[in-house]
Amino acid sequence: MKLFDVYPLYDVEPVKAEDCNVWDKDGKEYLDLYGGHAVISIGHGHPHYVHKLKAQLDNIGFYSNAVQNSLQKELADKLGKLSGCDEYELFLCSSGAEANENALKLASFHNGKHRVVAFTNGFHGRTSAAVVATDNKAIIAPINAQQEVAILPLGNLDMVEAELKKGDVCAVIIEPIQGVGGLDEAETSFFKGLETLCKAHNTCLILDEVQSGFGRSGKFFAYQHHGITPDIISMAKGMGNGFPIGGILIAPHIKSKYGLLGTTFGGNHLACAACIAVLEVLEKESLIEKAALTGEYFFAKANEIPGVVAVKGRGLMLGVEFDYEVGPLRKQLIYDKHMFTGGAKNKNLLRILPPLTIKVEQIDAFIEAVKELVTEKV
Ligand SMILES: Cc1ncc(COP(=O)(O)O)c(C=O)c1O
């Protein structure tokens, strides 16, 4: 059977990984500055994580959501404490798109409205409602197009107000730092304005923390840099350090009811064990604080690279923007320097999303490699 061809692939196959390094099938070592798309939070194969998952598998790997599962409660307690979001309630699922789909659906159940406001260059996943809130017409199928979403420019509160005044907007969904779009971020005044407008018009404010959450931005959630209180927070990537798990945090004024949401795989025993291990390591190794500090170091260093026009992002959710397209540079980084980086919708931007355990020496190695490549280019 052939595979359905949906991604252009680099000709490299990682078969082994440890912390911030991966090895291909020929034993060649790579530095992972991409974290498998911001997924690897506590480092590849962290011993505590491996131990927890193995031990869980020895006991029970899966049972359905029709019975008690105290691991879900343990996860919720630890997540509430570490994130500072103790008052929220948790619903678990298995991916980022699914988290946003549930967030949008819950908002609509809550206030009975149906339209959504989202923003230019945003990305929220590929499921029915999430994909229409994503600013990329090429990935919206005709079957999705019945969803009504107004995509507005990031930063324009007047336009948001005009939409909310129509009275039919169930949710405003926004990434605190845009990932796929290219690391752009609205100002604190915009986030605060959204919060006020959403309250005034009975609209739910959804913060999509699928990529920025779990410490990547230098705070547990990136919206916490702006001092706001969202109605729903969606999360996924860094949650399971590679084990598929997603979820939403739901503010207490949104009431649960049997049948509103559901899932077969969400919150299964292995997924919970993975996420609990991630939370324990984030706390024990102070990885959130480290992400903030390493990010500051990266900012200073990356600004020294010739041809860099901007360094964007926060913590270890970073973008380096050049005055030319970076596709060829990414290829050279992977094939010549053995370093994984990411791309973005902004073709001039190199995305850096390493495990939060990355060391300054590894940042130095990356900066030197890029300097060498761009100097050769000139
Ligand atoms: C901000 C954001 N939301 C949602 C998603 C979708 O997540 P998933 O691919 O797990 O469905 C992504 C994936 O890149 C993302 O970056």
Of ligand 1's listed atoms, the one at least distance from the Cα of 127 is 11
**pLDDT of 187 over the 70 cut:** yes
Measured between alpha carbons, how far is residue 266 from residues 39, 180, 260 in Å? 17, 25, 15
Q: How confident is the model at residue 376 (pLDDT cuts 50, 70, 90)?
A: confident
Ligand 1: residue whose CA is nearest its atom 16: 211
Query: Torsion-angle region of residue 27: left (phi > 0), alpha (psi -120 to 50) or beta?
Result: left
Q: What is the pLDDT of residues 75-88, one digit of tens each?
A: 999 999 999 999 99
The rounded Å distance from CA 97 to ligand 1 centre is: 6
What's the pLDDT score for residue 225? 98
Phi and psi based region of residue 43 (left: phi greater than 0; alpha: psi -120 to 50; beta: remaining): left
* The residue type at 223: Y
Answer yes or no: are the C-beta atoms of 222 and 288 closer than 8 Å: no
Q: What is the residue whose two structure tokens read 């949104």?
A: 254
Residue 41 structure tokens: 């939070």
46-71 average pLDDT score: 97
Atom of ligand 1 nearest to the CA of 125: 6
Residues with CB under 6 A from ligand 1: 95-97, 100, 123-125, 175, 179-180, 208, 210-211, 236
Quickly state the pLDDT bin for 238 (edges 50, 70, 90): very high
Domain 47-284 is found in CATH 3.40.50.300:
no
To test the pocket of ligand 1, the residue of 127, 209, 210 to mutate (highest count of ligand atoms within 8 Å of its CB) is 210
Reported confidence tier of residue 377, pLDDT bands at 50, 70, 90: low
Which of 211, 221, 234, 239 has the most ligand 1 atoms within 8 A of CB, as the residue to mutate? 211
Whose Cα sits closest to atom 7 in ligand 1?
96
* Atom 13 of ligand 1, residue of closest alpha carbon: 125
- Cα 80 to ligand 1 centre (Å): 22
Per-residue pLDDT tens over the stretch 340-373: 999 999 999 999 999 999 999 999 999 999 999 9
CA–CA distance, 149 with 163 (Å, rounded to integer)? 10
Q: Which H/E stretch holds residue 306?
A: none
CA of 132 relative to ligand 1 center, distance in Å: 13
CATH of domain 14-46+286-377: 3.90.1150.10
Under the banding of pLDDT at 50, 70 and 90, the label for residue 378 is low
The 3-state secondary structure of 3-25, one letter per residue = CCCCCCCCCCCEEEEEECEEEEC
Q: Which residues contact 2 (CB under 8 A, 6 or more apart)?
A: none
The per-residue pLDDT for range 283-339, each reduced to its tens digit, is 999 999 999 999 999 999 999 999 999 999 999 999 999 999 999 999 999 999 999
Distance 109 CA to ligand 1 centre (A): 23
Instruction: Quickly state the pLDDT bin for 145 (edges 50, 70, 90).
Output: confident
**Residues with Cβ < 8 Å from 36, sequence gap 6 or more?**
242
- What six digits make up the tokens of 339? 């370093």
**Per-domain residue ranges for the chain?**
14-46+286-377, 47-284
Task: Round the average pLDDT of the chain to a whole number and report it.
Answer: 97
Give the strand order in the sheet containing 317-322: 308-314, 317-322, 349-352
Q: What is the mean pLDDT of residues 13-33?
A: 98
pLDDT tens by residue, 163-185:
999 999 999 999 999 999 999 99
**pLDDT > 90: what percent of the chain?**
98
Nearest-10 Cα torsion for 16, 43, 54, 245: -110
Choice from 123, 128, 178, 217 to test ligand 1 binding pocket (greatest atom count within 8 A of CB): 123
